[in-house]
Amino acid sequence: MKKIIALAAVATVATFSVPAAFAETSQSVREVTEEAAPVAKLNAGQMLYSNGARLAPIYRVNAEGNPQIILSGKLVTVPASTISSVGGKVTTSLTKKEVASAK
C-alpha cells in the first residue's frame, strides 16, 4: 500500500511540473525563431527574393509597411508578415505564384 501512495505522489508532482517544462521549451523556441528570421529593413529599389530566386525590385513601401512590387505589369502588395532577411537578402516566404495572386 505504501508503494501505491508513493507512486501516486510522484505522479501528482510530475503532472504539475510538466507544464512548466513545456512553457520553458516554447519560450526557447520562440526566441530562437525570432533570432533566426530577422525583420528586414525595406526600401524602394531593394531586390525581393522568393525561394532564393529574384522576384522583383521593391517599387515602394506603403504606409502599413508592406512592400509593393511590379510583377507581370501589375502592382502587387506583399504582406510584411511574410518578409525576413535571409543571408542579407529581403525574402518573402510566399512563392512567386502566391505573390502574383496577392492583391
Q: How many CB atoms lie within 10 A of CB 70?
A: 13
Is 41 part of a structural domain of the chain? no
Residue-wise pLDDT for 36-93, tens only, equals 555 678 999 999 999 989 999 999 999 999 999 999 999 999 999 999 999 899 999 9
Residues 93 and 55 in one domain: yes
In which domain, by residue range, is 78 found? Answer: 47-101
Question: How far is Cα 45 from Cα 78, in angstroms, rounded to an integer?
Answer: 15
Whether residues 65 and 91 share a domain: the answer is yes
52 and 31 within one domain: no
Cα distance between residue 76 and residue 103, in whole Å: 6
**Per-residue confidence at 31, pLDDT binned at 50, 70, 90?**
low
Q: Do 51 and 90 belong together in one domain? A: yes
Beta-strand relationship, 83-86 and 89-92: antiparallel
The total number of structural domains in the chain stands at 2
Same domain, 95 and 75: yes
